[in-house]
A and B are shown apart, each in its own frame.
Chain A
């Protein structure tokens, strides 16, 4: 049995065949088919099961509004659930499976739910699983979760990639039907930069689905000709398979292009989809309209679909859902469906029209009446008609077309809170006046449902959007038939009449919702789940609104609509993530010594995107502590080297440079001598410490300022704020030079001896004392900078060269220092040494601490104005009970002193109310051979020697500690100055 329902004609490529399988069975279709059209051609109407009742379902539509025919595509890691068979482009080798079933599609065990439909009504979960509460987590939720959801995930990583991209244009046209094509032609010929996007793989919209003519051509031929001309225009970008998913502020649109979805796997290196951010001056929404069904008892059997979909299948795909087709309509469209199908040789059982003055036909029977029920277990077999005179008729048919009128696709007009207006002529909502800026709506999306109207509207919209002068271009002749619609939403007396087929919401559920007081549209939606499925109620919302209106005695516009939100159609999370997946495309910053450090086997840690060497393990070392202890001791005993390039560096120049630093640092810089470096503490305006670093004065009007690694960017931003917004007339220029220089700390008693072999100048203690800085040369002429500053507390220097020479310099330092066993050390040893010296770092500058807390209260100059100086004097930040930075050591040397633990008085209660302070940084000091820590303690400066309890109830810590100075090593600073 092959393609039994294939008709003549259509726009498929019959010269080629596509083999595909559905639920394991092999079928054949043609290029140009969708999965749904190819299955229908093969006589398959049953394509899925409904969400709640597991009712057998077939496609309702032929487009992206499809609620029923959801399938799983592909296999393995590429398995993709919930794709709409009506938009899936057929390709050779396509694999598809039905979903949401237990057992086979034909014998779904959960179809039993349908028998209990009286119980499973709206609000079922809310009412049923109320008690006993204990059963919820263990029983109800697992069962519901198992039953809920549609398709299943592969639970494997997506092997494909997704791109993001950016496009700019004068005019974005959404939809390439007659309106969009005419708009594109008008704008393209006028020379505007145009993007024409359509979700379909074939451009032309309804023109491909109808038999109407434009001029002396078929609509489809006219569309192909226009697309051909547009393709020759370099200023027009045609984007098929591209869904515009949202309208955002100021002419920014999101669009998803399905680059490789029409093949099993993307070509190597190519993305599956691209998320485009489109920047446009103007937009024409030419998104067309969506047909709506009519609700009656058992209106959801496979074979029952929208009339326009039947025409699409017949005219575009050359397919009929069955050999016998009936039509149920409230407007002339139903008769067009019958005529088209009849012309293709399909037998029309009858056209049932609810209007009394129905158009007659010589080719088939037209009945005045309404459909009241259907039969057929896995697909439609009979439809029951109640004629206007009350007599009943049974029609034999395997397909039924429903024509309830058309809803303009106004979604995008409402993405920025626009509200639609009601139009009585077509009994539908049309765009309101509050459109997104720059948007013009035309054609069916604007409520103009004729082809002539579409062509005219498209051309006029392009002229309006671009401000083109002159008359409209000569438009080809096209049909202009009236709609003649009589609003009709559901057949009286029905209950199990489906509105939302995907979420199984019936007319009865809407009535129940009203009866139970959920009467606003937003409540109706959430109580019944109407319109909350993946199709967002494109074919169902209006029916629900109409029934609500009737029950409430209101008009539909009085009831109102729910809010349309992006995305227009379901969008894969993968394409929203783009290339940023795991570590992929997470930007990394490598230090100049990275390659060398890697070769030494360094272990890296990420700090502000920088990868810094954390420690350099040697083969014999079994624990990181062993490595870090060695690095610390080697540095303190001889010499160590550490890459400190990552510290932020800002070049501050200008005649007011010193004055500027006086503003951003709480301590003074005006009197700092050229060739000297000073520690600086930066406050926020509220008096809290923001960052610290050093400023080296290289010339009267030139400083190099350092920031902490993590704060480089915020500090630079703050400096620009102070410069531009607070003191705009200061002659000061700032620019980041963090990455321009490779900088190494060389620390330890032998550091001078080591550097003397590299530096061309005299760096003896007299020539280059503690806190000196200057431009130097090294190795016989390379420009460099030297700073005699120390974070470790040892005799130490920081030496900087242009970044390109950073790799060479670390190798040179290691070579020159070999005789002193120079030891590279990482951030962990750096941390140990700074804790041993009581130097504050990020843990202490934690956004809650002041200069006073940090023991630097006296640094805040009262003689000048600086950011934060005034508010640092606030009462609440001063006086009795303030925290002071102190050191801690365990009474029992074997005890740890963990960071994060809190201090309690030795004999007081242990609770938050009696909290005395907390530990911020802790380490094992190889120098002292026990744990040490620094942190903050109430009135800490006056409590030296006191014994306290250090507790962390969460981690079970309770140890006795002694309060000490935070300077565990060389408190007088003699080593620094040696």
Chain B
């Protein structure tokens, strides 16, 4: 076992949580991520494996909120799979074993910062950040959009007041600043 200590995307040793009157912005450091892209000619087998893994193949603009692995659609024949890092540190390797030559797997754990934004003011906050029709999104909707020039995924969770935001990890600080500023505006 190695002795290297990981840091969170915001640079701390533990995830950061910011609480406001009607909203909580919590850094989520517990996600392992890997992308899955179907190989040409193997789409059906790839879909079958996805279905086996998640219970369904995520449709365009949708996520499948499954445990322990969940997934959302990124682009044509391309999905992001997420799972708890504690149990799935080697998620990409596991998926490679599962999908074999039917898909290209790329480790994405380090590429993203994840924030869970929860509270009754969540829709108001999202309206100050990006163009997604937040009040029309239902559980399992997953949209990619721009938040202050940063490409982010927004995933509507089962709790109607909960949105999960994945953004570029190197800009975790900028994205966090945007979320906190918007929270001050609306909370």
Contact = CB atoms under 8 A, between A and B. Distances in A.
Contacts of B38: 733
Nearest to B85: A804
B110 interface: yes
B137 to A, nearest CB: 10
A248 interface: no
Interface of A: 163-168, 193, 268-271, 274, 277, 279, 579-580, 585, 587-591, 594-595, 609-610, 645, 651, 653-656, 701-702, 729-731, 733, 735-742, 777-783, 801-809, 812
A735 B4 contact: no
Interface in B62-105: 78, 90, 101, 104
B110 A740 contact: yes
Nearest to A809: B4
Nearest to B5: A808
Contact of A780 (B3, B110, B112, B149): B3
Nearest to A653: B104
A591 to B, nearest CB: 7
Contacts of A588: 171, 173-174
B106 A737 contact: yes
Contacts of A804: 6-9, 109-110
Given A739-B110, A740-B110, 13 more contacts: A168-B136, A269-B181, A277-B131, A579-B148, A585-B148, A731-B39, A735-B78, A738-B111, A739-B170, A782-B2, A805-B4, A808-B5, A808-B6
Contacts of B7: 595, 804, 806-808
Interface of B: 1-9, 11, 35, 37-41, 78, 90, 101, 104, 106-112, 127-128, 130-133, 135-136, 148-150, 168-175, 177-178, 181-182, 184-185
A579 B9 CA distance: 23
B106 A735 contact: yes
Contact of A653 (B11, B106, B175, B182): B106
Nearest to B29: A804
Contacts of B37: 653, 733, 735
Given A731-B41, A733-B39, A166 B4 contact: no
Given A167-B127, A610-B170, A651-B106, A269 B135 contact: no
B185 A168 contact: no
A738 B7 CA distance: 18
B19 to A, nearest CB: 14
Contact of A779 (B2, B78, B112, B148): B2
Contact of B4 (A610, A654, A812): A812
B4 A779 contact: yes
Given A166-B127, A585-B148, A588-B171, A780 B177 contact: no
Given A730-B40, A735-B35, A808-B6, A781 B109 contact: no
Contacts of A783: 90
A778 B110 contact: no
A274 B181 CA distance: 14
A803 B3 CA distance: 15
Nearest to A588: B174
Contacts of B2: 777-782
A590 B107 contact: no
A739 B168 contact: yes
A589 B109 contact: no
Contact of B131 (A270, A279, A702, A779): A279
A805 B4 CA distance: 7
A274 B125 CA distance: 13
Contacts of B173: 588, 590
A654 B109 contact: no
Contacts of A589: 168, 170-171, 174
Contacts of A166: 127, 130-132
Contact of B109 (A279, A736, A740): A740
Give the secondary structure class of A's interface: mixed
7 contacts: A167-B127, A589-B168, A589-B170, A594-B11, A740-B109, A777-B2, A779-B3
B149 A587 contact: yes
A655 B103 CA distance: 11
Contact of A269 (B6, B174, B185): B185
A896 B74 CA distance: 52
A427 B41 CA distance: 69
Contacts of B178: 579, 585
A856 B153 CA distance: 41
Nearest to B181: A579
Contacts of B40: 654-656, 729-731
Given A589-B168, A590-B173, A804-B6, A740 B135 contact: no
Contacts, number: 150
Contacts of A269: 181, 184-185
Nearest to B35: A735
A737 B111 contact: yes
Nearest to A724: B76
Give the secondary structure class of B's interface: mixed
A921 B184 CA distance: 47
Contact of A164 (B78, B128, B149): B128
A587 B174 contact: yes
A594 B132 CA distance: 32
Contacts of B4: 778-779, 782, 801, 805, 808-809, 812
Contacts of B177: 585
A270 to B, nearest CB: 6
A807 B11 contact: yes
B185 A803 contact: no
A654 B174 contact: no
Nearest to A704: B106
A654 B39 contact: yes
B136 A587 contact: no
Most B-side CB within 10 Å, residue of A585, A655, A739, A808: A739
A801 B109 CA distance: 11
Contact of A270 (B11, B112, B168, B184): B184
A591 B7 CA distance: 13
A903 B48 CA distance: 65
Contacts of A779: 2-4
Given A733-B104, A737-B107, A780 B1 contact: yes
Most B-side CB within 10 Å, residue of A168, A591, A730, A802: A802
Nearest to A649: B111
A959 to B, nearest CB: 42
A721 to B, nearest CB: 14
Nearest to A777: B2
Contacts of A595: 7, 11
**Complex A-B, nearest 5 residue pairs according to Cβ-Cβ distance, in ascending order:** A803-B110, A269-B184, A653-B104, A804-B6, A731-B40
Contacts of B107: 737, 740, 802
Contacts of B1: 780-781
B102 to A, nearest CB: 11
A656 B184 CA distance: 50
Contacts of B169: 739, 803
Contact of B104 (A271, A654, A729): A654
A591 B170 contact: yes
A595 B40 CA distance: 42
Contacts of A808: 4-7
Nearest to B170: A589
A233 to B, nearest CB: 14
Contacts of B106: 651, 653, 735, 737, 740
Contacts of B184: 268-270
A279 B132 CA distance: 10
Contacts of B175: 587
Contacts of A780: 1-3
Contacts of A168: 133, 135-136
B71 to A, nearest CB: 15
A487 to B, nearest CB: 46
Most B-side CB within 10 Å, residue of A165, A193, A655: A165
Contacts of B185: 163, 269-271
Nearest to A783: B90
A579 B149 CA distance: 12
B175 to A, nearest CB: 8
